Copies of this chain bind each other. A is one copy, B any other.
Amino acid sequence: MPIYNFSAGPAVLPKEVLQQAAAEMLDWQGSGMSVMEMSHRGKEFMSILAAAQHDFRELLAVPDNYKLLFMQGGAIAENAIVPLNLLGRDGRAQPATSDYINTGSWSTKSLKEARRYGNVNVAASSEDSHFAQIPERDSWRLSKDPAYVHICTNETIDGVEYQFTPDIAAETNNAPLVADMSSHILSRVVDVSKYGVIYGGAQKNIGPAGLTLVVVREDLLGHALPACPSAFNWKIVADNDSMYNTPPTYAIYIAGLVFQWLKKQGGVAAMEQRNIAKAALLYDYLDSTGFYRTKIASNCRSRMNVPFFLADETLNDAFLAGAKEIGLLQLKGHKSVGGMRASIYNAMPLAGVQALVAYMKEFEKQHG
């Protein structure tokens, strides 16, 4: 029986990647060492790091004037690291102001953490609609000169995703746009040049937990507040090629294997087409029945995280138990939202979504 793991993160990884990792566990390419045992400054690991950096930059088409940093602590740590690195931009007086768009649980966490370091202007929020939509761009009340504007481009818990790239330059005196892309990075083509900073925890669409990716435009380096720990100062990390502290070497190795796998799949544009098809299969079915429902506005439904509900929630346990029995795992919704959630990241094959929809139809037939 094939197993399909719909966990929101840490999440499913390509089987080929896990097979290669298992085969190389005791001896990486004749080195006599596991990747876990290598000095991070030795030539073996340096080659793994360089390949991972090169492949990620190629996959996301990162322009030359952006640095790619491998850090630790996930998006939750980065929620503090962003203001610590950007509030001092242009030597502005502290506490400086940053703008946040609140579109769900992750945005809320980000802006609460930012309040620790400066003034936060919530320029728009969909909290009143229980985060079922993204506030329309022309409703945003941006500051005239914020240190930066923060968005979360895919809300893992609430299931909304930006289907547009907001243009904020003119209203904000060219403030950098900062995006938490943790749960959809590399799932769709992105014009990196529209952003000042892109960051994400790896454990959803890239690799193992414990690795954070940060893509930062070079002019945004060097403005850290004095309270910023050296290990989290983007300039120090960039100047040391992500080796100021010992990087999470094994997680970088696995991420690198995922990047190689993505290239074999045809790259991000090809993955995006598959992700569109996978999401359409599930949403089309949800829209066709009253037995299940989704609450998310159709113009901002996440292709990665699909929360849905049974109209009769007394059937929830039966739904989950039946799913598990046939190998459809981790479908329970986040506790703050309830219901179900199917996370269908890059590594989830179309066959997994087909199996889920088939099960949902069968369950509807039995209980509808």
A interface residues with partner B (beta carbon < 8 Å): 3, 5, 7-13, 15, 18-19, 21-23, 25-26, 32-34, 36-40, 42, 72-77, 79-81, 84, 113, 116-117, 201, 203, 207-211, 226-227, 229-232, 244-251, 254, 327, 329-330
Contact = CB atoms under 8 A, between A and B. Distances in A.
A223 to B, nearest CB: 16
B209 A247 contact: yes
Nearest to A334: B41
B230 A227 contact: no
A39 B203 CA distance: 10
A46 to B, nearest CB: 13
A23 to B, nearest CB: 8
A230 to B, nearest CB: 6
Which 8 residue pairs across A and B have the least CB separation, nearest first? Answer: A210-B248, A80-B229, A76-B245, A3-B32, A22-B25, A227-B227, A72-B72, A77-B231
Most buried by B among A5, A227, A229, A247: A229
B10 A37 contact: yes
B5 A37 contact: yes
A209 to B, nearest CB: 5
Nearest to A36: B208
A327 B32 CA distance: 8
A13 B230 CA distance: 29
Contacts of A251: 210, 248, 250-251
B32 A329 contact: yes
A221 to B, nearest CB: 18
A251 B244 CA distance: 20
Nearest to A109: B230
A47 B245 CA distance: 30
Contacts of A15: 26
